Amino acid sequence: MILTLVHIELEKLFRSKRSYIGLLAIVLIILVIEGGIMLQGEALIDLISENLQDVFILQGNLLNGYLISFLSINALWLHVPILVVIVTADLISGEAGSGTIRLILSRPVSRSKLILAKFITAIIYTTLLVLLLAVLSLFLGILFFGKGDIFVIYGSINILQEEILPGRFIMAFSFGVLGMWLVASLSFVFSALAENSLSPILLTMSIIILFTVVSSFEIGIFEDLKPYLFTTHMSNWRYFFSYKLEWAKIMQSGLILVAHIVLFISLTLFIFGKKDITS
Amino acid sequence: MVELSKSFGDIKAVDDLSFKVNRGNIYGLLGVNGSGKSSTIRLILNLISPDYGSILINGKKSSNGNLILRKKIGALIERPDFYLYLSANKNLQILLKYSGLPPDKKKIQETLEIVGLLKYQYKKIGIFSQGMKQRLGIAQAIIHDPDIIILDEPFNGLDPQGIVDIRNLVGRLSQEFRKTIILSSHMLKEIELISDRMLIMNEGRAVAEGKVEDLLGAYKARIRIRVSSVSDAINTLKKINYNKVKILNEREIICQVKEEEIPKVLRILLENRISVFNVIPERSLEDYFMSLV
């Protein structure tokens, strides 16, 4: 039954124009970024490397597809959740708002299976969104700017050779997907409570922005809170761009994200299971 | 339904309500807006959970997790809401899948034919009129061939022809297909015309329940009598202290009487040489309803 439900949810999702907003936005943003770099890329490289040139002799294709992809992800990572939430927050509350939830639940459909099917659908959509970001930024980057090593300033200066970068990008994007699943699961909690799409979108984004702001301040109390905020762990895809992979840290962050997802989905199941459908 | 109660905050939506619907009957739920009809229907469908009481279907307790029982029910609840960006056909395909059935095209077309929407099957619901959505609402309620059909305000937004069509369709579902139908409406005439039994609700409670003709028969209703002389008829009836009579027009009077008193009134008129040409019962559910709520 759950597969049938997932199939129905996917069919509804991809027949709705709203679902293509995020995908289209990713395409446009990547095109704008890559187009802009194509026009003024050298200036960008000069800006990034001006301090390094005093210490290092930089040779080769610095402005390459991998660097552009890395910069694109870095710039977009806080905005991708908005594109995720526009769709995932609507999956439950949208049905409540339009009244179609009555149609579904008056049929022999288990509430918990419905939520799980919707979450699997959200996972598929989110993965697709990140995959599009990954493929497009890498593909267009390599197509227009070729390949090469990249240097990433993250804790220290990390110079990563071209050969290892495809694997690093795959791992970073996979970790990034996990973070976006968490965003989707958080939006589900609010979506189960709400009767319209707007409230869960705003609530989810407010929490993400609040947590991100808190984790960006390097002062006492905020510093202490940082490890407990899921946003801190969401941005740890950057670990994969350290010269040496710190698997203990990666695993810890990954597990914290998974634990949050389990918690949020359990909460959604509980709320929706008890909810009176009055819309 | 046994001693069912449901509150939303301080408001008692359903208050100690019990009633029984027999197989194959059309059971009318009548009440003004906010009387608890829709909450009762939502309780039957487990869309809301009761604070107290239980619902039994074929002797088995209905609950949120009892999906087998829900297979036997088809429902139209308040408004006919659909996926507006999909066609009528696609909406029914999806709803069949939710019912655990294959999206049988023949079945969909047959059902759309019954409700008169076959030629619009590939049109998106977004362009449908309220009446068309209402018909599609009934289509989705019957497409999986349920034993029990629950229709909450099925006449809303329909023009007179639409009301007649839905009334006939409900009658057909009961007589031809032997479906048990629970029908809620604030349209008193429709409940009177269609239902075998009815429950009148007010402020979440049952105020009257029984066979429609029994409930109305016991009620002091009105008759319209066409007579040879309205003034003679009025004077005759007032002479015997029958004061609940008035002139309706130059040929007709109207009297408020109990059903069993009608022959007596007519006999008195005839004995006083007043010709009676026509007697039309004016008893109405509306009068009865207003006397209760």
HEC assignment per residue over chain B: CEEEEEEECCEEEEEEECCCCCCCCEEEEECCCCCCHHHHHHHHCCCCCCCEEECEECCEECCCCCHHHHCCEEEECCCCCCCCCCEHHHHHHHHHHHCCCCCCHHHHHHHHHHCCCHHHCCCEHHHCCHHHHHHHHHHHHHCCCCCEEEEECCCCCCCHHHHHHHHHHHHHHHHCCCCEEEEEECCHHHHHHHCCEEEEEECCEEEEEEEHHHHHHCCCEEEEEEECCHHHHHHHHHHCCCCCEEECCCCEEEEEECHHHHHHHHHHHHHCCCCEEEEEECCCHHHHHHHHC
In this prediction the pTM is 0.83
Structure confidence at residue A52 (pLDDT): 61
Q: What is the pLDDT of residues B82-137, one digit of tens each?
A: 999 999 999 999 999 999 999 989 999 999 998 889 999 999 999 998 888 988 99
Question: What residue type is assigned to position B78 of the chain?
Answer: E
Whether the CB of A112 is below 8 Å from some CB of chain B: the reply is no
- Judge: A12–B45 Cβ closer than 8 Å, yes or no: no
Considering only the beta carbons, identify the residue of A16, A273, A278 that sits closest to B85: A16
Rounded Cα–Cα distance for residues A197 and A145 (Å):
41
Considering only the beta carbons, identify the residue of A5, A16, A107 that sits closest to B95: A107
Q: Report, as ranges of residue numbers, the positions in chain B whose pLDDT lies below 50.
A: none
Structure confidence at residue B121 (pLDDT): 92
Q: How many C-beta atoms surround the C-beta of residue A53 within 10 A?
A: 10
DSSP-based three-state secondary structure for A118: helix
**d(CA B192, nearest CA chain A) in Å:** 27
- Judge: B84–A98 Cβ closer than 8 Å, yes or no: yes
Q: Which of A103, A269, A272 to mutate to test the interface with B (most CBs of B within 10 A)?
A: A103
Residue with tokens 């069993």: B260
Question: What residue type is assigned to position A216 of the chain?
Answer: S
User: In what order do the strands lie in the sheet containing B245-247?
Assistant: B245-247, B252-257, B221-227, B276-281
Rounded Cα–Cα distance for residues A156 and A244 (Å):
11
User: In what order do the strands lie in the sheet containing B197-202?
Assistant: B73-76, B148-152, B180-185, B26-30, B197-202, B205-211
Rounded Cα–Cα distance for residues A188 and A204 (Å):
9
**d(CA B130, nearest CA chain A) in Å:** 15
Whether the CB of A124 is below 8 Å from some CB of chain B: the reply is no
Whether the CB of A113 is below 8 Å from some CB of chain B: the reply is no
Considering only the beta carbons, identify the residue of A15, A100, A109 that sits closest to B81: A100
Rounded Cα–Cα distance for residues A160 and A62 (Å):
11
Structure confidence at residue B217 (pLDDT): 64
How does pLDDT run along chain A (279 residues), one tens digit per residue? 789 999 999 999 999 888 898 889 989 988 888 888 877 766 666 666 666 666 566 566 667 888 888 888 877 777 889 999 999 999 999 999 999 999 999 999 999 999 999 999 999 999 999 999 999 988 888 888 888 878 776 667 777 788 888 999 999 999 999 999 999 999 999 999 998 889 999 999 999 999 888 877 777 777 777 888 888 888 888 888 887 888 999 999 999 999 999 999 999 999 999 999 887
Structure confidence at residue A59 (pLDDT): 61
A273 to chain B: closest CA residue? B64
Rounded Cα–Cα distance for residues A196 and A161 (Å):
49
Rounded Cα–Cα distance for residues A249 and B129 (Å):
59
Structure confidence at residue B279 (pLDDT): 87
Residue pair B280/B249 in contact by the 8 Å Cβ criterion: no
Structure confidence at residue B68 (pLDDT): 77
**d(CA A182, nearest CA chain B) in Å:** 27
**d(CA A121, nearest CA chain B) in Å:** 16
- Judge: B79–A111 Cβ closer than 8 Å, yes or no: no
Nearest to A56 by CA among A164, A151, A165: A151
| Joined tokens for residue B3 | 């001693």
A4 to chain B: closest CA residue? B97
Rounded Cα–Cα distance for residues A162 and B89 (Å):
53
- Judge: A103–B84 Cβ closer than 8 Å, yes or no: no
Residue pair A159/A149 in contact by the 8 Å Cβ criterion: yes
Whether the CB of A15 is below 8 Å from some CB of chain B: the reply is yes
Rounded Cα–Cα distance for residues A184 and A192 (Å):
12
Rounded Cα–Cα distance for residues B116 and B164 (Å):
13
